[in-house]
Chain A
Amino acid sequence: MRGKSNMYHLIVHLLLLAGIVIVVFPFVWMVLTSFKTNGEALHIPPTILPEQFVTQAYTEILGALPFATVYMNTIISTVITTVGQVLFCSMAAYAFARIDFPFKNIIFVLVLSVLMVPGQIFLIPQYTIVQKLGLLDTIPALFLPNLFSAFGTFLLRQFFMSLPKELEEAAVLDGCSRYQIFGQIMLPLVKPGIVALVIFTAKFAWNDFMWPLIVNTSTDKMTLGPALSTLRGQYTTQYPMQMAGAVMAVLPLIVLFFIFQKQFIEGVAQSGIKG
């Protein structure tokens, strides 16, 4: 019996490891290529490990693109989108979950309806709005429509609704205002929800592609995704440089993921159960 179960576990491990090889290989290959010289990367047949371990590709990319600026743009856009969404969504979510007010249901349905529609539907009018505001090719264009999220409002509302009513009743009797109740009592209690929203939003904003590609066309106003696409277009055969760009684009989120992996994975795992 014991031997049989060991055998079973061995097979499970082998199958899982085979999958891991496929999952991890592109990352390994990306990193290895990024440390090769251009000549070595173009060598046929290719070498696996770099013959000389060089950081040339990383210095070249700084000359090819205003990479530091692009990086900064991506950080600014991600941080503002995330902070904005957490602030606005938590306020609205609290009111929808905890206060009775006229037209609440109609307004909430209106908010939810946005969730049902694929993003392309809004894209052309959003572009014309940003254009009319004279904001094309500016940093605010990157984050403006993304500050407002129906998904975030819905997510945090679920968290606010699960809190016991007695908390607020006591605060009301003590003469606290709604703003105090929200800021000092309720908001700290939905911290797990806020963490989940921060993770979803930061991931979305950092990796977003089509919107920043459309609104900002000068390289010094771009985010990483579209900047990589211009790099790919201009330096078609400079594979180490392309891979260096890719490494730098995925690294921040991978580091964040390793630090907050519990929250990342739990947030996603819950989406299937709650949704």
Chain B
Amino acid sequence: MAQKSAVAARAPKKKASSWQKRDWVAAYIFIAPVTLGLLVFYIWPFFQNIWFSFNDVNKFNMSTFVGLENYIKLFSDKEVWKAFGNSLKYVVITVPAGLFLSIFIAALMNAKIRGKSIYRTLYFLPSVTMSAAVAMVWKWIYNEQMGILNTAIKAAGGSGHAWLTSPSTALYCIMLVGLWMTVGYNMIILLAGMQGISVTYYEAAALDGAGPIQQFFKITIPMLTPTIFFVLITSIISGFQVFDTIYMMIGKTNPAYDDTQTVVMLFYRQAFDYGYKGYAAAISLFIFIVIMIVTVIQLIGQKKWVNYD
């Protein structure tokens, strides 16, 4: 837009068009690396992945067309449903818990208190650290014999527990690490949202005699819904993607192996441990479709509760 008016002011019509052509050439040169890179490494692979899912792909990438076989196998494979259930459990628990905790901490931080920036820095810290490294630390904390968690419980008179090796607790322990890593990050986003709410609303409410709790539920939460929605969507998507922590914390001989195998974990093992790349491609498309459906439901459902003014 900008250059058009400038060019028109500068030169007669004919010259303008040659300037414009040079402009187009420049534009294509500017976008070439990203566009070609994305085409080769992302867009083409997207379609190739769909093709793979209808094939049996062996170690040497020789593929034989098998039609819907991978998909038929997928729907009757108990391991897939178990993994899907684990992922769902992970999302259904960590997303609301994480949202609650991050809103709660953001609300505390939104008060006029001292040392706010120190709190903010420390709460944010886990989200800049490598999840693979942090998972090792947590594994050590959870250790049955020598871990500090069981030591503390025993010191308090309780009895220790095999946190990461019992099927009933392992996934929950992983969820806790996930929450530990993400709550501070989401808190920062929500706090920024809270600070963007105009003071005049609170002043008006205070004049009407609304207390802090009432103000929180009648002003802060409704005004924050667009930010809450953003955090909700991104948390659900990343909840379905959990991989690093499980890979690091659960070994192949762990009795809780099946109970902590999420869909992305299963995808990785099928593709790169067992070498069933066609089947893994079908699993990855299944994950994609599930995330798409959940996101679309969220986008439709948001009209009922998200305020945009």
A interface with B by C-beta (< 8 Å): 8-9, 12-13, 15-16, 19-20, 22-24, 26-27, 29-30, 33, 41-46, 87-89, 91-92, 94-96, 98-102, 104, 107, 110-111, 113-114, 117-129, 131-132, 144-145, 147-150, 153, 165-166, 168-169, 172-173, 177-179, 182, 203, 206-207, 209-210, 213-214, 224-226, 228-229, 232-233, 239, 242-243, 245-246, 249-250, 253-254, 256-258, 261, 264-265, 268-273, 275
Identify B6's interface contact among A169, A239, A265, CB under 8 A. Answer: A169
A104 to B30, CA, bound (A): 12
Interface: B173 (CB within 8 A) = no
Assess whether A91 is in contact with B33, with CB atoms less than 8 Å apart: yes
A216 to B134, CA, bound (A): 22
Contacts of B287 in A (CB 8 A): 118, 120
Assess whether A99 is in contact with B291, with CB atoms less than 8 Å apart: no
Q: Count residues of chain B with CB under 8 A from any CB of chain A.
A: 101
A120 to B6, CA, bound (A): 46
Assess whether A265 is in contact with B124, with CB atoms less than 8 Å apart: yes
Interface residues of B in 162-220 (CB under 8 A from A): 180, 184-185, 188-193, 196
A43 to B291, CA, bound (A): 46
Given contacts A20-B123, A124-B281, 4 further A-B contacts (CB under 8 A): A12-B108, A29-B148, A168-B6, A243-B140
Contacts of A144 in B (CB 8 A): 41
A232 to B138, CA, bound (A): 13
Across the two chains, which residue of chain A brings its CB closest to B295?
Answer: A116
Interface: B297 (CB within 8 A) = no
Across the two chains, which residue of chain A brings its CB closest to B111?
Answer: A12
- A15 with B108, Cβ < 8 A, contacts A148-B33, A203-B128, A209-B243 known: yes
- Contact sample, A vs B, 12 pairs, CB 8 Å cutoff: A23-B184, A29-B140, A30-B137, A99-B24, A110-B43, A117-B42, A120-B264, A207-B130, A224-B132, A226-B132, A254-B125, A261-B121
Across the two chains, which residue of chain A brings its CB closest to B189?
Answer: A272
Smallest Cβ distance from B262 to chain A, in angstroms? 11
| 6 nearest A-B residue pairs (beta carbon) | A148-B37, A125-B45, A269-B192, A272-B189, A178-B26, A95-B30
Assess whether B5 is in contact with A88, with CB atoms less than 8 Å apart: no
Contacts of A110 in B (CB 8 A): 35, 38, 43
- A119 with B189, Cβ < 8 A, contacts A91-B34, A125-B52 known: no
A46 to B188, CA, bound (A): 36
A153 to B37, CA, bound (A): 12
Interface residues of B in 2-30 (CB under 8 A from A): 2-7, 9-10, 22-24, 26-28, 30
Assess whether A124 is in contact with B130, with CB atoms less than 8 Å apart: no
Contacts of B302 in A (CB 8 A): none
Interface: B267 (CB within 8 A) = yes
Smallest Cβ distance from B185 to chain A, in angstroms? 6
Across the two chains, which residue of chain B brings its CB closest to A99?
Answer: B27
Assess whether B288 is in contact with A45, with CB atoms less than 8 Å apart: no
Assess whether B26 is in contact with A242, with CB atoms less than 8 Å apart: no
Contacts of A118 in B (CB 8 A): 237, 240-241, 284, 287-288, 291
Interface: B105 (CB within 8 A) = yes
Assess whether A177 is in contact with B26, with CB atoms less than 8 Å apart: yes
Identify B1's interface contact among A26, A100, A132, CB under 8 A. Answer: A100
- A272 with B132, Cβ < 8 A, contacts A23-B122, A26-B180 known: no
Interface residues of B in 259-288 (CB under 8 A from A): 264, 267-268, 271-272, 277, 280-281, 284-285, 287-288
A257 to B115, CA, bound (A): 18
Assess whether B2 is in contact with A169, with CB atoms less than 8 Å apart: yes
B7, B41, B191: which has the most chain A beta carbons within 10 Å?
Answer: B41
Assess whether B27 is in contact with A148, with CB atoms less than 8 Å apart: no
Contacts of B130 in A (CB 8 A): 206-207, 209, 224-225, 249-250, 253
A94 to B30, CA, bound (A): 8
Identify B34's interface contact among A15, A111, A256, CB under 8 A. Answer: A111
Smallest Cβ distance from A100 to chain B, in angstroms? 7
A204 to B103, CA, bound (A): 25
Contacts of A165 in B (CB 8 A): 1-2
Assess whether A117 is in contact with B280, with CB atoms less than 8 Å apart: no
A46 to B285, CA, bound (A): 47
Assess whether A24 is in contact with B122, with CB atoms less than 8 Å apart: yes
A16, A124, A250, A270: which has the most chain B beta carbons within 10 Å?
Answer: A124
- A272 with B231, Cβ < 8 A, contacts A111-B35, A165-B2, A264-B124 known: yes
Assess whether B284 is in contact with A44, with CB atoms less than 8 Å apart: no
Assess whether A253 is in contact with B180, with CB atoms less than 8 Å apart: no
Smallest Cβ distance from A30 to chain B, in angstroms? 4
Contacts of A129 in B (CB 8 A): 40-41, 45
Assess whether B285 is in contact with A179, with CB atoms less than 8 Å apart: no
A95 to B115, CA, bound (A): 43
Interface: B159 (CB within 8 A) = no
